[in-house]
Structure 1
Amino acid sequence: MGLFDEIKKKLSHEFIDIVEWLDTSNDTIVHRFERYQNEIKNNAQLIVREGQHAVFVNEGQLADVFTPGTYTLNTKNLPILTTLKGWKYGFDSPFKAEVYFVNTRLFTDEKWGTKNPFMLSDDRFGLVEIRAFGTYSFRINDPGKFVVDVVGTDGNFTNYEVNEHLKSLIVTRFTDTVGEANLPIELYAANTSELSETCQEVMQPEFNRVGIELERFYIENVSMPEDLKKEIFEYSRLDKLDMTKLSQFKAAKAMEAAAKNEGGTAGAGMGMGMGFVLAQQMGSMMGQPMGQPFGNQPQQAPSGPPPIPAQTTYFYAVNGQQAGPVNYDRLKELFASRTINRDTLIWKQGMENWTSLKEIDELKSFLGGNTPPPLPSA
């Protein structure tokens, strides 16, 4: 081998490029490999590491995508680029192409939240304002599509840039999904897991359109104004509370407070008055008239009208569980809030079996559209 051949061989090795990217940041998603005039020598070595893809773009057209591995760049490994360039018999001179390295690792603990409260309509509380925030995780699952549709010619595309787009998409789809769920307002905070899964299913096609996979989506908190929280809390307490026991409890507490009052006759008079009220309540509970000693004493006939008959109470079935009893008005509220429906099983005192709501005469008014029967003909 002559001296000229040795020099030619040495120079040919020196001209072989190594195309690679060592990621030194935690937030870079796409990095463009910079070369002078984008020239890459024939037989250059391409090194794609784990968690990366290399995307070749020629004059704005997607040419090739390389998965992790080491490649020699020639017509064999660049079939699409060869077709675009029109090389029928190979190429020996440098070629021009833009090379983008795409980070395909999982980006976790990304934050999202509603910048402004959004409105929801509730049957009991009217229009209400709520906010929400949480986290999500994503990865690039189609590097070619992501580079062409999102990155464009950006030489260093970061996590911050894509997150601004994703957060807007998430908030839009979240508000749409929550609005269509039509849940009672107090159930949003208690059903964040189910809402998270539903929102992820709704958002995934939107992410796929730009080459992104939404790995996880979490709703951490759904918040509302403090006055609305108090109203919901009081409503739930009254819904479960026995008002008779509450009245007795408050009377006993008032009597106790009056007994501790050392303010003179006023305090004593208040204590006596509250004691009289409490004694009346206790006497009525035990069926003993006020002022009559306990024992087998003759009962006098009542001088006033008889007591008001007790309201009818109903039991209902929800998710295979018995609930109740509730009165007619409360049952109507449950039907209006869609907790129960026309096919819900109902039972009351005197019925032999559980019967669907639509078959009970006094409850048919819940269904609407009731009209009286026609008048008999003369």
Structure 2
Amino acid sequence: MAIIDVIKFNGIASRNWLVYRYPGESFVFGTQLIVGEGQIAVFVKGGKALDYFSAGTHTLNSKNIPILQGLINIPFGGRTPFTAEVFFINKTVKLDVLWGTSDPISLIDPKYAVRLRVRAFGQFGMKISDFRVFLTELIGAVGDDQIVKYDTVINYFKGVTVTKVKTIIADIIINQKISVLEIAPRLEEISETSQRSLSDEFERFGIEVVNFYLSSINFPDEDFETINKLLGEKAAFDIIGDNRYTVKRKFDVMETVAGNESAGGLAATGLGLGFGAGAGAAMGNTFANMPGSDMNTHPKGLACKKCGEMNDAGSKFCCNCGEKLIIAQIACYSCSTLIDENVKFCSNCGSSMMKKICPGCHKENKPGTKFCADCGTKLEE
């Protein structure tokens, strides 16, 4: 067995190496050990990490390998041979470890009630913090080529990383009721929570998570189109109001049924007539409940808009709740639409119907007046 006088690892072209096992095992006192920057050399015997050396040139002797000396009882003096394994470990920080969900998280968005297939992507940084623990766990992974690359370790941690991040994201969306479309401001918080959750798992192998970033949470375009459709309908709802939107939706359904010729002949006609009758009744009820509708007037009396009680014709106040039955209407000064006299804004153009108080003489002026009719002071818009 050849005696090795110099132990050295020049590294490989890329920084992707993590552990390198020196090919020889027979050494003597006086052997030169050269450790490069960003490396640490560890002597291993019987599967145990013993003496270690940081960057620099070292001459092996009984003083700088005391644990190994005590274990194998090397005689003092001379160039006594001894056997051990030498591992070089990459101590530099690797910041470009990419991760992503290989399969989506399927969940229901709490705001839009739409099933979404959510994916997440990001990156993290790692470094070896406890070489003894790390090497003990990884010695069996060193193959015939003497090199363990980052990919070997990262492939394991990608599984636990994705599992924990999925759990955290699902908890925020489902339990905290945060919509996926509104989760972007929480990315930093999710990143910090994920790093804390993953740190214990990495530390079990002597690895420190230097940083962790969740750069994107998204879902397929077809899921986004579904939400866009809902947002469009919601916009219509906000613009035309509750009752009118309900009427529109019922007309849409009637139009669909009327245009459905799949049933054929009299069957389709009967379905259309039957549905039209039912929808017509529902439509009538809807219009009857809308403010200002003449259908609130019963042939034999007046229906209270508040409680629905029928009152005798000519009654001014409801006999059941006291609500005023007949409300005078006035024309909007801006668009001339007839509206109830007690409303604050026109239901057609939105103009204010509130009287304007003159800041000079405190006289009340009609809505829309620009100058006080009494003193001529300009009124606030």
The TM-score, its normalising length taken from structure 1, stands at 0.57
Matched, 1:148 2:130: no
Residue in structure 2 matching 1:243, options 234, 239, 244: 239
- How far off its partner does 1:231 sit? 4.3
Write the distance in 2 (CA, Å) between the matches of 1:208 and 1:90. 41
Q: Give, in angstroms, the shift of residue 209 of structure 1.
A: 0.8
Matched, 1:138 2:126: yes
Equivalence map 1:1-378=2 (5 Å) = 17-26=5-14, 27-35=16-24, 38-87=25-74, 89=76, 92-120=79-107, 122-123=109-110, 125=113, 128-152=116-140, 153-154=142-143, 155-181=146-172, 182-184=175-177, 185-186=179-180, 187-233=182-228, 242-244=238-240, 305=303, 307=305
The answer for unaligned runs of 5 or more in structure 1 is 1-14, 252-283, 290-302, 310-378
1:5 maps to none
State how far apart, in whole Å, the 1-side matches of 2:188 and 2:78 are: 57
- The alignment-based identity, stated in percent, is 31
Partner secondary structure for residue 169 of structure 1: helix
Query: Distance between the aligned counterparts of 2:157 and 2:139, measured in 1?
Result: 14
Work out whether residues 75 and 91 of structure 1, in 8 Å CA contact, stay in contact via their aligned partners in 2.
no
TM-superposed deviation, 1:224: 2.1
Task: State the alpha-carbon separation in 1 of the partners of residues 46 and 128 from structure 2.
Answer: 23
Contact 1:65 1:144 in 2 (8 A): no
Give the number of aligned pairs: 249
CA shift in 2, pair 1:192/1:100, >3 Å? same
Q: CA deviation at 1:86?
A: 2.4
- State how far apart, in whole Å, the 2-side matches of 1:180 and 1:41 are: 59
- Report Cα offsets for 1:236-284 as digits up to 9, x if no partner: 6777873337979xx9xxxxxxxxxxxxxxxxxxxxxxxxxxxxxxxx9
Q: Is the 8 A contact 2:9 2:88 kept in 1?
A: yes
Contact 2:117 2:220 in 1 (8 A): yes
Paired residue type of 2:238 = D
Structure 2: how far apart are the matches of 1:123 and 1:65? 55
Residues 21 and 88 in structure 2, CA contact (< 8 A), matched pair in contact too: yes
Q: Is the 8 A contact 1:50 1:68 kept in 2?
A: yes
In 2, the alpha carbon distance for the partners of 1:217 and 1:242 equals: 41
Q: Specify the alignment match of 1:368 in structure 2.
A: none
Aligned mates of 1:191, 1:236 — CA distance in 2: 22
More off after superposition, 91-100 vs 53-62: 91-100
Measure the CA separation in 2 of the matches of 1:41 and 1:173: 48
Task: Give the number of the structure whose residues are more often helix, by fraction.
Answer: 1
Corresponding residue of 2:358: none
Which one is further off, 203-212 or 147-156? 147-156
Structure 2 stretches lacking a partner, 5+ long: 249-289, 295-300, 308-381
In the TM superposition, residue 189 of structure 1 has moved relative to its aligned partner by 3.6
Give, as a single letter, the amino acid of the residue that structure 1 aligns with 2:169: V
Rounded to whole Å, the distance in 1 between the matches of 2:139 and 2:124 is 21
